[in-house]
Amino acid sequence: MARIDLVDLAQSYSGNDADPASFALKPVTMTWRQGGAYALLGPSGCGKTTLLNLISGIVTPSRGKILFDGVDITPLSTQKRNIAQVFQFPVIYDTMTVGQNLAFPLKNRGLPKNEIDARVAEIARLLDLEPFLSRKAMRLTADAKQKISLGRGLVRSDVAAVLFDEPLTVIDPELKWQLRSKLKALHRELDLTMIYVTHDQTEALTFADTVVVMHDGRVVQSGTPAELFDKPAHTFVGYFIGSPGMNIVPAEVRGREARIGGHSIALNRSYALPAGAKVELGVRPEFVDVATPAPGLISANIERIDDLGRVRFARLRVGDVKFAARVPPGFSVSGDVAGLVFDASRVHVYADSLLVEGAA
């Protein structure tokens, strides 16, 4: 159990002198709270697995330091770091029984037998593996195997953190839900720091108290699911989280007014923007309503309506830009053109993809 600090940590697989833009992980400084449930979210190739492997010691960073409770552990090997990690595909020791598999990490560290037995029994109970304890692990199904891998990650009570690298990839969707809620329950029960890597936003948002979004080797935002939804710090976060993602529209912003293709939208705050920056408005489809075209409203061409059951979203085009907006209940769409009504308090301004805080 430990607080984990990353200090100016970076990783380049082609040496330190390589072009910084090619780094698999660009320099990052951040703190992981003891006992927190974190999710590392991002598309494939964004550097999240690299970050995980740096923390577990499988990869040695080309720059920066990792501190566990203030102690620099960067040069230490994986064995000495006291970290548990669960991989994407189940790793089990074929010749051992399920019980022996779970006991393996403890046995290697020379714990007394009665302690091992007690701990294995507890983990087996938590993961519903009790009926299989004396069975050979090789004969089990893929999800039972992955449960064993999870169990081996959780069995040590003294670990600094448990890292999960997309652990539910091989699991059936229905079981996924069960296992994820199980992990969440285990997190509460065992008081371990858990870091969960995934490219699936639902998985990240349901598992974690803090979601760390990564994009192109950079940590672009870390916050609660609500923060990520309400106030994306980067256009990528807005686009990646939420379904459909945030609308990002090029605009001109002057003071409290934004102009999109000749139409003006009133903003809640006043913005002073650096000259020459690429300025965009970001607004979630949930906060834009489709209305009958009227003067003063931005007009958009309707491409199609997606009926999601509880809510309907219109897919539109504003000029050349794709746009999504909510269709209010009871509103029936007629014709190809619709007006858009913005919730001004929910419209964010981005300069060069980064959120700009306005002044009141």
Partner 1 sequence: MDKTVNQKAWFLVLPVFLVVAFSAILPLMTVVNYSMQDTFGNNQFFWNGVGWFKELLDPSTDLGSRFFASLWRNLAFSAIILAIEVPLGIVVALSMPRDGWRVAACLVTLALPLLIPWNVVGTIWQIFGRPDIGLLGYVLNNMGIDYNYVSNEFDAWATVIVMDVWHWTSLVALLCYAGLKSIPDAYYQAAQIDGASRWAVFTAIQLPKMNRVLLIAVLLRFMDSFMIYTEPFVVTGGGPGNSTTFVSIELVKIALGQFDLGKAAALSLVYNLIIIIVCWIFYTVMTNVGAERREQKGVA
Interface positions with partner 1 (CB under 8 A) = 56-58, 77-79, 83-85, 87-89, 91, 93-96, 104-105, 108-109, 138-142, 145, 149, 152
CA distance 357 to 258: 15
Q: Smallest gap, in angstroms, from Cβ of residue 98 to partner 1?
A: 14
CA distance 115 to 317: 64
Q: Smallest gap, in angstroms, from Cβ of residue 10 to partner 1?
A: 21
Q: Smallest gap, in angstroms, from Cβ of residue 328 to partner 1?
A: 48
Nearer to partner 1 by C-beta: 150 or 298? 150
Report residue 106: phi and psi, to 5°: -75, -40
Nearer to partner 1 by C-beta: 22 or 95? 95
Please give the structure tokens belonging to residue 90. Answer: 């189940």
Nearer to partner 1 by C-beta: 141 or 270? 141
Q: Smallest gap, in angstroms, from Cβ of residue 57 to partner 1?
A: 8
| CA neighbor of 94 nearest in space, from 38, 132, 159, 145 | 145
Nearer to partner 1 by C-beta: 146 or 201? 146
Q: Smallest gap, in angstroms, from Cβ of residue 24 to partner 1?
A: 17
Nearer to partner 1 by C-beta: 111 or 133? 111
Nearer to partner 1 by C-beta: 74 or 299? 74
Rg of the chain (C-alpha set): 24
CA distance 230 to 251: 20
Q: Smallest gap, in angstroms, from Cβ of residue 83 to partner 1?
A: 6
Which residue(s) pair with 14 in the sheet?
none
Q: In terms of DSSP H, where are the helices of 11-126? A: 48-56, 78-81, 98-108, 113-126
Which H or E run contains 193?
Answer: none
Nearer to partner 1 by C-beta: 44 or 334? 44
Q: Smallest gap, in angstroms, from Cβ of residue 312 to partner 1?
A: 41
CA distance 25 to 47: 6
Residue 152, SS3?
helix
Cα–Cα–Cα angle for 284, 285, 291, nearest 5°?
Answer: 130
